[in-house]
Chains A and B, each alone.
Chain A
Amino acid sequence: MKLDEAKALVEEWLRSNGRARNGLLPLLHHLQDAIGYIDDAMVAEIASALNLSRADVHGVLTFYHDYRRKPAGRHVVKLCRAESCQARGGAAIEAAAAELLGVAMGETRHDGQVSLEAVYCLGLCAIGPNALVDGRPIARIDTAALDRIAADVAA
Chain B
Amino acid sequence: MTRVFISADMASVALGADQVAQAFVDAGCEVVRTGSRGLFSIEPLVEVETADGRIGYGPVAADEVRTVLDGAHPNRLGDVAALPFFAAQQRFTFARCGIVDPLSMADYAAHGGWTGLDIARSADPQAVVDTVKASGLRGRGGAGFPTGIKWQTVLDAPGAEKYIVCNADEGDSGTFADRMLMEGDPFCLIEGMAIAAHAVGAGHGYIYIRSEYAFAVETMRKAIELSAARIAPFTLEVRVGAGAYVCGEETALLDSIEGKRGQVRAKPPLPALAGLFGRPTVINNVLSLAAVPFILSAGAEAYADVGFGRSRGTMPVQLAGNVKNGGLFEVGFGITLGELVNDIGGGTASGRPVRAVQVGGPLGAYFPPSMFDLPFDYEAFTQAGGLIGHAGITVFDDSVDMAHMARFAMEFCAVESCGKCTPCRIGSTRGVEIMDRIIAARIPEPAPPTARTGTLEKALYSRSPDRIDVSPGAQTALLRDLCDTMKYGSLCALGGFTPYPVLSALDHFPEDFGAPAPIPQAAE
Contacts and interface: CB of A to CB of B under 8 A. Distances in A.
Interface of A: 20-26, 28-29, 50, 59-60, 63-67, 82-88, 119-128, 130, 132, 135, 137-140
A29 B326 CA distance: 34
B239 A123 contact: no
Interface in B338-374: 349, 358, 361-362
B135 interface: no
B15 A140 contact: yes
B326 A139 contact: no
B416 interface: yes
A139 B258 CA distance: 35
Interface of B: 10-11, 13-15, 40, 43, 170-176, 178-179, 211-214, 239-245, 256-263, 277, 318-323, 326-327, 349, 358, 361-362, 392, 394-397, 400, 405, 408, 412, 415-416, 418
B259 A84 contact: no
Given A83-B321, A86-B408, A126-B323, A121 B260 contact: no
A26 B239 contact: yes
Contact of B349 (A86, A88, A123, A124): A88
Contact of B261 (A59, A66, A83, A140): A59
A138 B174 contact: no
25 contacts: A21-B258, A21-B260, A22-B259, A63-B263, A63-B418, A83-B174, A83-B358, A83-B361, A83-B362, A86-B405, A86-B408, A87-B322, A87-B396, A87-B400, A88-B322, A120-B171, A123-B175, A125-B174, A125-B175, A125-B392, A127-B15, A137-B10, A137-B13, A139-B11, A139-B14
B114 to A, nearest CB: 27
A21 B259 CA distance: 6
Contacts of B40: 126-127
A22 B256 CA distance: 8
Nearest to B15: A139
A29 B242 contact: yes
Nearest to B211: A66
Contacts of B178: 123
A65 B318 CA distance: 26
Given A127-B326, A139-B14, 18 more contacts: A20-B259, A21-B259, A22-B258, A22-B277, A25-B256, A29-B242, A63-B418, A64-B243, A83-B405, A83-B408, A86-B405, A120-B171, A123-B175, A123-B178, A126-B11, A126-B176, A126-B321, A126-B326
Nearest to A140: B15
Contact of B10 (A24, A87, A88, A123): A123
A87 B392 CA distance: 14
Nearest to B244: A64
Contacts of A83: 173-174, 321, 358, 361-362, 394, 405, 408
Contact of B171 (A23, A24, A121, A126): A121
A85 B396 CA distance: 10
Contacts of B240: 25-26, 29
Contacts of A26: 239-240
Contacts of B277: 22
A85 B323 CA distance: 11
A146 to B, nearest CB: 15
A50 B277 CA distance: 17
Among B14, B277, B319, B394, the one with the most A-chain Cβ atoms within 10 Å of its Cβ is B14
A83 B171 CA distance: 12
Contacts of A123: 10-11, 170, 175-176, 178-179, 212-213
A142 to B, nearest CB: 13
Among A59, A64, A135, A140, the one with the most B-chain Cβ atoms within 10 Å of its Cβ is A64
A20 B175 CA distance: 34
B321 A84 contact: yes
Nearest to A67: B242
A83 B406 CA distance: 11
Given A64-B242, A127-B11, A120 B321 contact: no
A14 B57 CA distance: 50
Contact of B416 (A85, A87, A120, A138): A120
Contacts of B408: 83, 86
Among B242, B245, B323, the one with the most A-chain Cβ atoms within 10 Å of its Cβ is B242
Contacts of B260: 21, 24, 60
Contacts of A59: 261
Contacts of A130: 14
Nearest to B256: A25
Given A64-B243, A120-B245, A120-B416, A88 B259 contact: no
Contacts of A20: 259
A82 B452 CA distance: 37
B13 A125 contact: no
A85 B412 CA distance: 14
A154 B362 CA distance: 34
Among A21, A63, A66, A119, the one with the most B-chain Cβ atoms within 10 Å of its Cβ is A63
A126 B320 contact: yes
Contacts of A29: 211, 240, 242
Contacts of B43: 127
B57 to A, nearest CB: 18
A125 B258 contact: no
B173 A138 contact: no
A137 B14 contact: yes
B4 to A, nearest CB: 22
A126 B326 CA distance: 5
Nearest to B395: A87
B243 A135 contact: no
The 3 lowest CB-CB distance pairs between A and B, nearest first, are A126-B326, A82-B173, A125-B320
